[in-house]
Protein backbone atom coordinates (compact mmCIF):
# COMPACT_ATOMS: atom_id res chain seq x y z
CA UNK A 1 0.00 0.00 0.00
CA UNK A 2 2.92 2.36 0.25
CA UNK A 3 3.49 2.17 -3.48
CA UNK A 4 1.44 5.28 -4.10
CA UNK A 5 -1.43 3.37 -5.63
CA UNK A 6 -4.85 2.87 -4.13
CA UNK A 7 -5.31 -0.49 -5.76
CA UNK A 8 -4.53 -3.50 -3.63
CA UNK A 9 -1.88 -6.09 -4.15
CA UNK A 10 -3.64 -9.43 -4.40
CA UNK A 11 -4.08 -11.26 -1.10
CA UNK A 12 -4.79 -14.96 -0.87
CA UNK A 13 -8.41 -15.46 -1.93
CA UNK A 14 -10.96 -15.83 0.84
CA UNK A 15 -8.51 -15.15 3.63
CA UNK A 16 -10.47 -14.26 6.74
CA UNK A 17 -10.02 -10.61 7.68
CA UNK A 18 -12.60 -10.04 10.38
CA UNK A 19 -13.86 -12.45 13.00
CA UNK A 20 -16.48 -11.24 15.41
CA UNK A 21 -17.20 -13.65 18.27
CA UNK A 22 -19.98 -13.39 20.83
CA UNK A 23 -20.11 -9.63 20.92
CA UNK A 24 -22.39 -8.22 23.58
CA UNK A 25 -23.14 -4.52 23.94
CA UNK A 26 -25.07 -3.21 26.90
CA UNK A 27 -25.74 0.52 27.07
CA UNK A 28 -26.02 1.92 30.59
CA UNK A 29 -24.23 2.31 33.92
CA UNK A 30 -24.82 -1.21 35.16
CA UNK A 31 -22.97 -3.04 32.41
CA UNK A 32 -21.47 -5.67 34.75
CA UNK A 33 -24.71 -6.61 36.47
CA UNK A 34 -26.53 -6.50 33.18
CA UNK A 35 -23.94 -8.80 31.57
CA UNK A 36 -24.28 -11.25 34.43
CA UNK A 37 -28.05 -11.25 34.05
CA UNK A 38 -27.69 -11.80 30.30
CA UNK A 39 -25.43 -14.79 30.94
CA UNK A 40 -28.00 -16.11 33.39
CA UNK A 41 -30.52 -16.04 30.56
CA UNK A 42 -32.38 -12.80 31.19
CA UNK A 43 -33.95 -11.14 28.14
CA UNK A 44 -33.76 -7.58 26.86
CA UNK A 45 -36.79 -6.27 28.74
CA UNK A 46 -35.89 -8.02 31.98
CA UNK A 47 -32.39 -6.57 31.85
CA UNK A 48 -33.77 -3.14 31.15
CA UNK A 49 -36.25 -3.19 34.03
CA UNK A 50 -33.77 -4.69 36.52
CA UNK A 51 -30.62 -2.73 35.65
CA UNK A 52 -31.67 0.09 33.34
CA UNK A 53 -29.25 -1.21 30.71
CA UNK A 54 -30.26 -1.47 27.05
CA UNK A 55 -29.20 -4.68 25.32
CA UNK A 56 -27.79 -3.38 22.03
CA UNK A 57 -26.00 -6.53 20.85
CA UNK A 58 -26.71 -10.02 22.03
CA UNK A 59 -23.93 -12.53 21.28
CA UNK A 60 -23.23 -11.58 17.68
CA UNK A 61 -20.73 -13.68 15.74
CA UNK A 62 -19.75 -13.58 12.08
CA UNK A 63 -16.70 -13.37 9.89
CA UNK A 64 -15.78 -11.42 6.79
CA UNK A 65 -13.31 -12.56 4.17
CA UNK A 66 -10.82 -10.60 2.13
CA UNK A 67 -12.54 -8.89 -0.79
CA UNK A 68 -16.05 -9.64 0.43
CA UNK A 69 -19.07 -7.36 0.92
CA UNK A 70 -20.90 -8.41 4.06
CA UNK A 71 -24.25 -6.69 4.51
CA UNK A 72 -25.53 -6.20 8.04
CA UNK A 73 -29.26 -5.85 7.63
CA UNK A 74 -32.27 -5.42 9.86
CA UNK A 75 -35.05 -3.07 10.87
CA UNK A 76 -34.29 0.24 12.49
CA UNK A 77 -33.06 -0.28 16.04
CA UNK A 78 -31.93 -3.87 15.44
CA UNK A 79 -28.31 -3.04 16.30
CA UNK A 80 -26.66 -2.63 12.89
CA UNK A 81 -24.88 0.65 13.55
CA UNK A 82 -23.86 -0.51 17.01
CA UNK A 83 -22.32 -3.64 15.49
CA UNK A 84 -20.51 -1.71 12.80
CA UNK A 85 -19.14 0.76 15.33
CA UNK A 86 -17.90 -2.00 17.59
CA UNK A 87 -15.57 -3.09 14.78
CA UNK A 88 -13.42 0.01 15.23
CA UNK A 89 -14.53 0.62 18.82
CA UNK A 90 -16.38 3.83 18.18
CA UNK A 91 -18.70 1.82 20.41
CA UNK A 92 -16.92 -0.21 23.12
CA UNK A 93 -18.21 -3.78 23.19
CA UNK A 94 -19.19 -5.01 26.65
CA UNK A 95 -17.97 -8.55 26.00
CA UNK A 96 -16.73 -10.70 23.15
CA UNK A 97 -13.86 -10.70 20.71
CA UNK A 98 -13.12 -8.87 17.47
CA UNK A 99 -10.11 -10.09 15.55
CA UNK A 100 -9.03 -8.20 12.47
CA UNK A 101 -6.07 -9.61 10.55
CA UNK A 102 -5.14 -11.47 13.71
CA UNK A 103 -5.22 -8.40 15.97
CA UNK A 104 -7.56 -8.56 18.96
CA UNK A 105 -9.14 -5.13 18.55
CA UNK A 106 -10.80 -5.16 21.97
CA UNK A 107 -7.38 -5.30 23.65
CA UNK A 108 -5.70 -2.40 21.84
CA UNK A 109 -4.53 0.55 23.93
CA UNK A 110 -5.97 3.95 23.10
CA UNK A 111 -2.86 4.91 21.17
CA UNK A 112 -2.58 1.60 19.31
CA UNK A 113 -6.27 1.77 18.53
CA UNK A 114 -5.94 5.20 16.93
CA UNK A 115 -3.16 3.98 14.67
CA UNK A 116 -5.01 0.74 13.90
CA UNK A 117 -8.16 2.63 12.92
CA UNK A 118 -6.27 4.95 10.65
CA UNK A 119 -4.52 2.27 8.70
CA UNK A 120 -7.34 -0.28 8.67
CA UNK A 121 -10.69 1.42 8.25
CA UNK A 122 -12.36 3.80 5.89
CA UNK A 123 -15.85 4.88 6.87
CA UNK A 124 -18.73 6.11 4.75
CA UNK A 125 -21.91 7.36 6.39
CA UNK A 126 -25.39 8.19 5.23
CA UNK A 127 -24.67 11.89 5.36
CA UNK A 128 -21.63 12.71 3.43
CA UNK A 129 -19.89 14.86 6.03
CA UNK A 130 -17.79 16.65 3.43
CA UNK A 131 -16.09 19.89 4.46
CA UNK A 132 -18.11 22.59 2.72
CA UNK A 133 -15.19 25.00 2.35
CA UNK A 134 -12.84 22.46 0.81
CA UNK A 135 -12.87 21.38 -2.81
CA UNK A 136 -13.69 17.79 -3.67
CA UNK A 137 -10.00 16.96 -4.12
CA UNK A 138 -9.16 18.60 -0.79
CA UNK A 139 -11.93 16.62 0.88
CA UNK A 140 -10.77 13.37 -0.66
CA UNK A 141 -7.13 13.86 0.30
CA UNK A 142 -7.95 14.95 3.85
CA UNK A 143 -6.98 11.62 5.43
CA UNK A 144 -3.60 11.65 3.75
CA UNK A 145 -3.10 15.27 4.68
CA UNK A 146 -3.47 14.63 8.40
CA UNK A 147 -1.06 11.74 8.03
CA UNK A 148 1.47 14.22 6.70
CA UNK A 149 1.65 12.82 3.15
CA UNK A 150 3.20 15.51 0.96
CA UNK A 151 1.02 17.68 -1.19
CA UNK A 152 1.91 16.31 -4.59
CA UNK A 153 1.65 12.65 -3.62
CA UNK A 154 -1.65 13.06 -1.82
CA UNK A 155 -3.18 15.05 -4.67
CA UNK A 156 -2.18 12.33 -7.11
CA UNK A 157 -3.88 9.70 -4.96
CA UNK A 158 -6.93 11.91 -4.50
CA UNK A 159 -7.37 12.43 -8.24
CA UNK A 160 -7.03 8.71 -8.79
CA UNK A 161 -9.82 8.08 -6.25
CA UNK A 162 -11.97 10.86 -7.72
CA UNK A 163 -11.65 9.24 -11.12
CA UNK A 164 -12.43 5.79 -9.72
CA UNK A 165 -15.80 6.94 -8.41
CA UNK A 166 -16.69 8.67 -11.66
CA UNK A 167 -16.10 12.27 -10.61
CA UNK A 168 -13.26 13.06 -12.97
CA UNK A 169 -13.25 16.79 -13.72
CA UNK A 170 -15.13 17.69 -10.52
CA UNK A 171 -12.11 17.74 -8.23
CA UNK A 172 -11.86 21.56 -8.07
CA UNK A 173 -15.57 22.03 -7.30
CA UNK A 174 -17.04 22.53 -3.84
CA UNK A 175 -19.51 20.06 -2.31
CA UNK A 176 -22.47 22.44 -2.71
CA UNK A 177 -21.88 22.40 -6.48
CA UNK A 178 -22.50 18.64 -6.57
CA UNK A 179 -25.75 16.67 -6.37
CA UNK A 180 -26.40 14.38 -3.40
CA UNK A 181 -25.35 11.32 -5.37
CA UNK A 182 -22.13 12.99 -6.44
CA UNK A 183 -21.39 14.06 -2.89
CA UNK A 184 -21.80 10.48 -1.77
CA UNK A 185 -19.35 9.44 -4.48
CA UNK A 186 -16.93 11.98 -3.07
CA UNK A 187 -17.43 10.46 0.37
CA UNK A 188 -16.63 7.08 -1.09
CA UNK A 189 -13.54 8.48 -2.85
CA UNK A 190 -12.38 9.87 0.48
CA UNK A 191 -12.68 6.44 2.09
CA UNK A 192 -10.91 4.79 -0.85
CA UNK A 193 -8.10 7.33 -0.91
CA UNK A 194 -6.70 6.48 2.50
CA UNK A 195 -4.57 3.39 2.97
CA UNK A 196 -7.40 1.64 4.73
CA UNK A 197 -8.70 -1.41 2.95
CA UNK A 198 -11.65 -2.31 5.16
CA UNK A 199 -14.60 -0.07 4.39
CA UNK A 200 -17.34 0.38 6.96
CA UNK A 201 -20.43 1.80 5.31
CA UNK A 202 -23.45 2.74 7.41
CA UNK A 203 -26.60 3.26 5.33
CA UNK A 204 -24.24 4.95 2.91
CA UNK A 205 -26.77 5.09 0.09
CA UNK A 206 -29.99 5.36 2.08
CA UNK A 207 -30.41 9.10 1.55
CA UNK A 208 -30.13 8.82 -2.24
CA UNK A 209 -32.95 8.67 -4.76
CA UNK A 210 -33.74 5.10 -5.86
CA UNK A 211 -32.17 5.31 -9.34
CA UNK A 212 -29.01 7.00 -8.12
CA UNK A 213 -28.91 4.55 -5.29
CA UNK A 214 -28.95 1.64 -7.72
CA UNK A 215 -26.13 3.29 -9.71
CA UNK A 216 -24.08 3.59 -6.55
CA UNK A 217 -24.71 -0.04 -5.63
CA UNK A 218 -23.52 -1.11 -9.07
CA UNK A 219 -20.51 1.13 -8.80
CA UNK A 220 -19.59 -0.17 -5.38
CA UNK A 221 -19.76 -3.72 -6.68
CA UNK A 222 -17.48 -3.02 -9.58
CA UNK A 223 -15.07 -0.95 -7.47
CA UNK A 224 -14.99 -3.72 -4.95
CA UNK A 225 -14.09 -6.25 -7.62
CA UNK A 226 -11.35 -4.01 -8.89
CA UNK A 227 -9.89 -2.94 -5.55
CA UNK A 228 -10.63 -6.04 -3.48
CA UNK A 229 -11.59 -3.95 -0.48
CA UNK A 230 -13.26 -5.78 2.36
CA UNK A 231 -16.59 -4.10 3.02
CA UNK A 232 -19.06 -4.24 5.87
CA UNK A 233 -22.19 -2.50 4.63
CA UNK A 234 -25.11 -1.65 6.88
CA UNK A 235 -28.53 -1.39 5.27
CA UNK A 236 -32.15 -1.69 6.35
CA UNK A 237 -33.11 -2.58 2.78
CA UNK A 238 -33.15 -6.21 1.69
CA UNK A 239 -33.29 -5.22 -1.96
CA UNK A 240 -30.03 -3.32 -1.51
CA UNK A 241 -28.48 -6.19 0.41
CA UNK A 242 -29.38 -8.57 -2.40
CA UNK A 243 -28.10 -6.25 -5.05
CA UNK A 244 -24.74 -5.83 -3.39
CA UNK A 245 -24.42 -9.55 -3.81
CA UNK A 246 -22.48 -10.59 -0.73
CA UNK A 247 -23.40 -12.55 2.34
CA UNK A 248 -26.03 -11.10 4.63
CA UNK A 249 -26.24 -10.99 8.40
CA UNK A 250 -29.87 -10.31 9.27
CA UNK A 251 -30.28 -8.79 12.71
CA UNK A 252 -33.27 -8.67 15.04
CA UNK A 253 -33.24 -7.04 18.48
CA UNK A 254 -29.45 -7.05 18.64
CA UNK A 255 -29.08 -10.73 17.73
CA UNK A 256 -28.55 -12.50 14.43
CA UNK A 257 -31.84 -13.84 13.09
CA UNK A 258 -30.18 -15.53 10.11
CA UNK A 259 -27.04 -15.22 8.08
CA UNK A 260 -26.11 -16.53 4.66
CA UNK A 261 -26.25 -15.59 1.01
CA UNK A 262 -29.37 -13.87 -0.29
CA UNK A 263 -30.28 -17.10 -2.03
CA UNK A 264 -29.96 -19.15 1.13
CA UNK A 265 -32.07 -16.72 3.10
CA UNK A 266 -34.74 -16.35 0.43
CA UNK A 267 -35.00 -20.03 -0.26
CA UNK A 268 -34.99 -21.08 3.37
CA UNK A 269 -36.04 -18.23 5.67
CA UNK A 270 -35.80 -19.25 9.30
CA UNK A 271 -38.54 -17.93 11.53
CA UNK A 272 -41.37 -15.48 11.15
CA UNK A 273 -39.24 -12.31 11.24
CA UNK A 274 -37.05 -13.46 8.38
CA UNK A 275 -40.05 -14.71 6.41
CA UNK A 276 -41.73 -11.33 6.72
CA UNK A 277 -38.54 -9.66 5.58
CA UNK A 278 -38.29 -11.75 2.43
CA UNK A 279 -41.93 -12.20 1.50
CA UNK A 280 -42.04 -9.33 -0.95
CA UNK A 281 -38.84 -10.19 -2.71
CA UNK A 282 -39.10 -11.81 -6.11
CA UNK A 283 -37.18 -15.06 -5.71
CA UNK A 284 -36.70 -15.40 -9.46
CA UNK A 285 -34.58 -12.26 -9.52
CA UNK A 286 -32.21 -13.67 -6.92
CA UNK A 287 -31.96 -17.41 -7.26
CA UNK A 288 -29.36 -18.50 -9.79
CA UNK A 289 -29.66 -21.46 -12.12
CA UNK A 290 -26.64 -23.19 -10.63
CA UNK A 291 -28.53 -23.44 -7.35
CA UNK A 292 -31.76 -24.62 -8.87
CA UNK A 293 -30.71 -27.38 -11.19
CA UNK A 294 -30.86 -30.94 -10.08
CA UNK A 295 -27.54 -32.65 -10.47
CA UNK A 296 -27.65 -34.82 -13.53
CA UNK A 297 -25.14 -37.18 -15.02
CA UNK A 298 -23.89 -36.21 -18.41
CA UNK A 299 -23.78 -38.67 -21.20
CA UNK A 300 -20.71 -38.45 -23.35
CA UNK A 301 -21.60 -38.43 -27.03
CA UNK A 302 -19.05 -41.17 -27.76
CA UNK A 303 -20.62 -43.58 -25.26
CA UNK A 304 -22.90 -46.38 -26.36
CA UNK A 305 -26.50 -46.76 -25.25
CA UNK A 306 -25.83 -49.84 -23.14
CA UNK A 307 -23.08 -48.03 -21.27
CA UNK A 308 -25.75 -45.58 -20.16
CA UNK A 309 -28.26 -48.23 -19.10
CA UNK A 310 -26.91 -48.79 -15.57
CA UNK A 311 -27.23 -45.09 -15.08
CA UNK A 312 -30.89 -45.11 -16.10
CA UNK A 313 -31.63 -47.95 -13.71
CA UNK A 314 -29.98 -46.06 -10.89
CA UNK A 315 -32.15 -43.02 -11.58
CA UNK A 316 -35.73 -44.11 -11.89
CA UNK A 317 -37.85 -41.54 -13.62
CA UNK A 318 -40.38 -40.92 -16.34
CA UNK A 319 -40.10 -42.15 -19.90
CA UNK A 320 -39.89 -38.62 -21.25
CA UNK A 321 -37.09 -37.53 -18.88
CA UNK A 322 -34.47 -35.70 -20.85
CA UNK A 323 -30.76 -36.41 -20.52
CA UNK A 324 -28.12 -34.06 -21.79
CA UNK A 325 -25.40 -35.37 -24.09
CA UNK A 326 -22.00 -33.70 -23.92
CA UNK A 327 -18.90 -33.61 -26.07
CA UNK A 328 -15.47 -34.40 -24.66
CA UNK A 329 -15.03 -30.87 -23.32
CA UNK A 330 -18.20 -31.44 -21.26
CA UNK A 331 -20.15 -28.98 -23.38
CA UNK A 332 -23.80 -29.89 -23.92
CA UNK A 333 -24.37 -30.86 -27.53
CA UNK A 334 -27.83 -32.39 -27.51
CA UNK A 335 -30.52 -34.27 -25.66
CA UNK A 336 -31.99 -37.70 -25.51
CA UNK A 337 -35.12 -38.99 -23.82
CA UNK A 338 -35.04 -41.89 -21.39
CA UNK A 339 -37.34 -44.14 -23.41
CA UNK A 340 -35.28 -43.75 -26.55
CA UNK A 341 -32.05 -44.37 -24.71
CA UNK A 342 -33.53 -47.40 -22.96
CA UNK A 343 -35.13 -48.96 -26.02
CA UNK A 344 -33.70 -52.29 -27.22
CA UNK A 345 -33.18 -50.75 -30.64
CA UNK A 346 -30.62 -48.38 -29.17
CA UNK A 347 -28.23 -51.19 -28.36
CA UNK A 348 -24.88 -50.81 -30.05
CA UNK A 349 -25.51 -47.22 -31.07
CA UNK A 350 -23.41 -44.28 -30.01
CA UNK A 351 -25.27 -41.51 -28.21
CA UNK A 352 -24.38 -38.93 -30.83
CA UNK A 353 -26.47 -40.97 -33.29
CA UNK A 354 -29.37 -41.32 -30.87
CA UNK A 355 -29.61 -37.64 -29.98
CA UNK A 356 -33.00 -36.12 -30.65
CA UNK A 357 -32.08 -32.52 -31.13
CA UNK A 358 -30.16 -29.66 -29.66
CA UNK A 359 -30.52 -28.24 -26.19
CA UNK A 360 -30.42 -24.55 -25.28
CA UNK A 361 -27.72 -23.46 -22.82
CA UNK A 362 -27.83 -20.96 -19.99
CA UNK A 363 -25.08 -19.86 -17.58
CA UNK A 364 -25.15 -21.15 -13.99
CA UNK A 365 -24.73 -17.61 -12.68
CA UNK A 366 -27.84 -16.26 -14.44
CA UNK A 367 -30.87 -15.54 -12.29
CA UNK A 368 -34.01 -17.51 -13.00
CA UNK A 369 -35.96 -14.47 -14.11
CA UNK A 370 -33.53 -13.71 -16.92
CA UNK A 371 -34.08 -17.09 -18.58
CA UNK A 372 -37.85 -17.42 -18.21
CA UNK A 373 -38.54 -16.16 -21.77
CA UNK A 374 -36.01 -18.65 -23.13
CA UNK A 375 -37.44 -21.45 -21.03
CA UNK A 376 -40.91 -20.68 -22.35
CA UNK A 377 -39.67 -21.65 -25.82
CA UNK A 378 -37.72 -24.70 -24.71
CA UNK A 379 -40.00 -27.55 -23.65
CA UNK A 380 -37.01 -29.79 -22.89
CA UNK A 381 -35.44 -27.32 -20.50
CA UNK A 382 -32.09 -25.59 -20.46
CA UNK A 383 -28.65 -27.10 -20.12
CA UNK A 384 -27.03 -25.03 -17.40
CA UNK A 385 -23.31 -24.54 -17.93
CA UNK A 386 -20.47 -23.15 -15.82
CA UNK A 387 -18.07 -20.35 -16.81
CA UNK A 388 -16.08 -22.73 -18.97
CA UNK A 389 -19.20 -23.90 -20.79
CA UNK A 390 -19.27 -27.28 -19.01
CA UNK A 391 -22.57 -28.92 -18.23
CA UNK A 392 -23.80 -28.51 -14.65
CA UNK A 393 -27.37 -29.73 -14.76
CA UNK A 394 -30.67 -29.55 -16.58
CA UNK A 395 -33.14 -26.82 -15.66
CA UNK A 396 -36.59 -28.19 -16.37
CA UNK A 397 -39.75 -26.14 -16.52
CA UNK A 398 -41.01 -28.07 -13.54
CA UNK A 399 -38.04 -27.06 -11.39
CA UNK A 400 -38.44 -23.45 -12.49
CA UNK A 401 -42.14 -23.45 -11.67
CA UNK A 402 -41.55 -24.93 -8.25
CA UNK A 403 -38.98 -22.27 -7.48
CA UNK A 404 -41.39 -19.58 -8.61
CA UNK A 405 -44.09 -21.05 -6.43
CA UNK A 406 -41.67 -21.38 -3.53
CA UNK A 407 -42.76 -24.93 -2.96
CA UNK A 408 -39.62 -27.01 -3.07
CA UNK A 409 -39.89 -30.17 -1.07
CA UNK A 410 -37.20 -30.38 1.58
CA UNK A 411 -35.76 -33.42 -0.02
CA UNK A 412 -35.32 -31.72 -3.32
CA UNK A 413 -33.90 -28.65 -1.69
CA UNK A 414 -31.28 -30.67 0.10
CA UNK A 415 -30.39 -32.41 -3.07
CA UNK A 416 -30.26 -29.55 -5.49
CA UNK A 417 -29.49 -26.53 -3.38
CA UNK A 418 -27.07 -27.62 -0.75
CA UNK A 419 -25.43 -30.44 -2.64
CA UNK A 420 -25.13 -32.18 0.70
CA UNK A 421 -26.42 -35.56 -0.33
CA UNK A 422 -23.95 -38.38 -0.38
CA UNK A 423 -22.05 -38.99 -3.55
CA UNK A 424 -22.26 -42.56 -4.71
CA UNK A 425 -19.22 -44.67 -5.33
CA UNK A 426 -17.57 -44.19 -8.67
CA UNK A 427 -18.30 -46.94 -11.13
CA UNK A 428 -16.65 -48.36 -14.12
CA UNK A 429 -17.54 -46.71 -17.38
CA UNK A 430 -14.93 -44.40 -18.77
CA UNK A 431 -17.33 -42.63 -21.05
CA UNK A 432 -20.12 -41.32 -18.90
CA UNK A 433 -19.44 -38.22 -16.88
CA UNK A 434 -20.85 -36.29 -14.00
CA UNK A 435 -20.05 -32.77 -12.97
CA UNK A 436 -17.46 -32.52 -10.21
CA UNK A 437 -19.17 -29.39 -8.91
CA UNK A 438 -22.57 -31.04 -8.73
CA UNK A 439 -22.14 -34.66 -7.77
CA UNK A 440 -24.59 -37.05 -9.25
CA UNK A 441 -27.10 -38.24 -6.72
CA UNK A 442 -28.79 -41.57 -6.66
CA UNK A 443 -26.63 -42.68 -9.54
CA UNK A 444 -23.06 -43.71 -10.02
CA UNK A 445 -20.59 -40.88 -10.19
CA UNK A 446 -18.45 -41.62 -13.16
CA UNK A 447 -15.61 -39.67 -14.60
CA UNK A 448 -14.13 -40.07 -18.02
CA UNK A 449 -10.44 -40.09 -18.75
N1 LIG B 1 -25.75 5.33 23.11
C2 LIG B 1 -26.80 4.54 23.31
N3 LIG B 1 -27.39 4.47 24.52
C4 LIG B 1 -28.46 3.68 24.75
N5 LIG B 1 -29.00 2.89 23.82
C6 LIG B 1 -28.47 2.90 22.58
C7 LIG B 1 -27.35 3.73 22.25
N8 LIG B 1 -27.04 3.53 20.95
C9 LIG B 1 -27.91 2.62 20.48
N10 LIG B 1 -28.77 2.25 21.46
C11 LIG B 1 -29.85 1.25 21.34
O12 LIG B 1 -29.31 0.09 20.74
C13 LIG B 1 -30.23 -0.48 19.82
C14 LIG B 1 -29.61 -0.60 18.45
O15 LIG B 1 -29.40 0.68 17.88
P16 LIG B 1 -28.67 0.88 16.50
O17 LIG B 1 -27.43 0.07 16.48
O18 LIG B 1 -28.53 2.32 16.26
O19 LIG B 1 -29.73 0.24 15.49
P20 LIG B 1 -29.81 0.35 13.90
O21 LIG B 1 -28.53 0.92 13.38
O22 LIG B 1 -30.06 -1.06 13.47
O23 LIG B 1 -30.98 1.21 13.60
C24 LIG B 1 -31.46 0.41 19.87
O25 LIG B 1 -32.37 -0.17 20.75
C26 LIG B 1 -30.95 1.72 20.40
O27 LIG B 1 -31.96 2.40 21.10
MG1 LIG C 1 -28.20 2.67 12.22
- Nearest residue to 64 via CA among 232, 240, 282: 232
Query: What pLDDT is recorded for position 422?
Result: 30
Query: Residue 326's beta-bridge partner residues?
Result: 300, 332
What is the Å distance from ligand 2's center to 185 Cα? Answer: 20
Atom of ligand 1 nearest to the CA of 84: 17
Instruction: Answer yes or no: is the C-beta of 235 below 6 A from any ligand 1 atom.
Output: no
What is the Å distance from ligand 2's center to 400 Cα? Answer: 37
Query: What pLDDT is recorded for position 125?
Result: 79
Beta-strand relationship, 360-363 and 382-385: parallel
What is the Å distance from ligand 2's center to 57 Cα? Answer: 13
Best probe residue, ligand 1, of 71, 77, 206, 249 (max atoms within 8 Å of C-beta): 77
Taking residue 309's Cβ as centre, other Cβ atoms within 10 Å add up to 14
Query: What pLDDT is recorded for position 415?
Result: 44
Residue whose Cα lies nearest atom 7 of ligand 1: it is 27
Query: What pLDDT is recorded for position 234?
Result: 96
Query: What pLDDT is recorded for position 267?
Result: 81
- Nearest residue to 383 via CA among 374, 394, 375, 373: 394
- Write the DSSP assignment of 80-113 as a string of letters: HHHHHHHHTTSS--SEEEEEETTEEGGG--HHHH
3-state secondary structure 267-295: HCCCCHHHHHHHCCCCHHHCCEHHHHCEE
Query: What pLDDT is recorded for position 13?
Result: 58
Determine whether 385 is exposed, middle or buried from the number of CB atoms within 10 Å of its CB (0-12, 13-18, 19+): buried
User: Residue-wise pLDDT tens for the chain (449 aa)?
Assistant: 444 455 444 445 579 999 999 999 999 988 899 999 999 999 999 999 999 999 999 999 999 999 999 999 999 999 999 999 999 999 999 999 999 999 999 999 999 999 999 889 988 877 768 999 999 999 999 988 988 899 999 999 999 999 988 899 999 999 999 998 899 889 988 988 887 889 999 998 888 888 888 888 998 998 888 888 999 999 999 989 988 988 999 999 999 999 999 888 988 899 999 988 888 888 888 889 998 887 777 789 988 888 888 888 888 788 888 899 999 889 999 999 999 998 988 888 999 899 998 999 999 999 999 999 999 999 999 999 999 999 999 999 988 888 887 644 333 444 443 333 332 222 223 233 333 333 332 233 333 33
Ordered structural domains, the chain, with CATH: 16-281 (3.40.50.300), 289-433 (3.10.580.10)
Query: What pLDDT is recorded for position 403?
Result: 83
What is the Å distance from ligand 1's center to 77 Cα? Answer: 6
Distances (CA, A) of 254 to 257, 268, 335: 9, 21, 52
Which ligand is closest in space to the CA of residue 72?
Answer: 1
For residues 185 and 208, give the distance between their C-alpha atoms in angstroms, rounded to a whole number: 11
Amino acid sequence: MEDGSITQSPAPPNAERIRVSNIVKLFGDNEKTALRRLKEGAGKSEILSETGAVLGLDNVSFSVNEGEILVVMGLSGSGKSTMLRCLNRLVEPTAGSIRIDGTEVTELSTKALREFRRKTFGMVFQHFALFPNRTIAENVEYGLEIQGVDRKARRERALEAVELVGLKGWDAKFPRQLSGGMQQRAGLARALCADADILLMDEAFSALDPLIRRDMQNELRSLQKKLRKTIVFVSHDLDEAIHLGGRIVLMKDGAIAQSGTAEEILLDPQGEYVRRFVENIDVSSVVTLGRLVSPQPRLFEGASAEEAWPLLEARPGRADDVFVVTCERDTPVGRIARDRLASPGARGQRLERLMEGSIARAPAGAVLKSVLPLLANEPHGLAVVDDAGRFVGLLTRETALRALAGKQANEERNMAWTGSSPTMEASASSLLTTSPAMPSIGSPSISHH
